[in-house]
A and B are shown apart, each in its own frame.
Chain A
Amino acid sequence: GDSVTQMEGPVTLSEEAFLTINCTYTATGYPSLFWYVQYPGEGLQLLLKATKADDKGSNKGFEATYRKETTSFHLEKGSVQVSDSAVYFCALSGGNDMRFGAGTRLTVKP
């Protein structure tokens, strides 16, 4: 079945460092890909998404490009802030439900 694999954390960075969180997927058909963020004590919020190959999703300085050839959707940010500390989830949807990766905890230190 469809599945998502993302890099294990935790990831600890200093403020203004470059962030990459890797995500690869396995799917039949043409899924859409998502990144969600979960701040402590809260639900998941959509960060960005891409619905077809070569699309780039972006929001709040985060970016991810839907790469069909490498079945990847890596999350990047050029300069992280302390406020970016959260758990990040890569997800895939084929239309009927959404499957999530295991989550990557990011801690950004001042």
Chain B
Amino acid sequence: DTAVSQTPKYLVTQMGNDKSIKCEQNLGHDTMYWYKQDSKKFLKIMFSYNNKELIINETVPNRFSPKSPDKAHLNLHINSLELGDSAVYFCASSLRQGYSGNTIYFGEGSWLTVV
């Protein structure tokens, strides 16, 4: 059973297009995240949702819009894609906010290439 699953795994698209990445977790967790990993492997948090409520919104262009229809799903929609958006996007989840010892569980990543 896949704990955190995201689709698609690979996505190649042209500049200016709009695309979505879907994420689902079956762990019963309250908190979900989107992280971006650049070509140098640096990981940066983009968004965090707790029980469908936006908790963290780092300095991310507003072309990126997360949507959480329920606490098991957190989708990422990207408008007007730019070359610099090429990266690996990781969905993740943890039990709940507020406890520092919570482990974050990651999906396998979505490799986005903008051409």
Contacts and interface: CB of A to CB of B under 8 A. Distances in A.
Do A and B belong to a common assembly?
Answer: yes
Interface of A: 29-32, 34, 36, 38, 42-46, 49, 51, 87, 89, 93-100, 102-103, 105
Nearest to A92: B100
Given A31-B100, A42-B108, A97 B48 contact: yes
26 contacts: A29-B100, A32-B100, A32-B101, A32-B102, A38-B41, A43-B107, A43-B109, A44-B90, A45-B106, A46-B103, A49-B101, A51-B100, A89-B43, A93-B102, A93-B104, A94-B100, A95-B100, A95-B102, A96-B48, A96-B55, A96-B56, A96-B98, A97-B48, A97-B56, A103-B43, A105-B41
Contacts of B40: 102
Most chain A CB inside 10 Å of its own CB: which residue of B40, B43, B98, B106: B43
A93 B102 CA distance: 8
A103 B40 CA distance: 9
A-B pairs, top 4 by smallest CB distance, nearest first, are A43-B106, A51-B101, A32-B100, A103-B41
Interface in B27-76: 33, 40-43, 45, 48, 55-56
Nearest to A89: B43
A102 B55 CA distance: 24
Interface of B: 4, 33, 40-43, 45, 48, 55-56, 90, 97-109
Contacts of A103: 41-43
Contact of A93 (B42, B100, B108): B100
Contacts of B43: 44, 89, 100, 103
B51 to A, nearest CB: 14
A42 to B, nearest CB: 6
Contacts of A42: 108-109
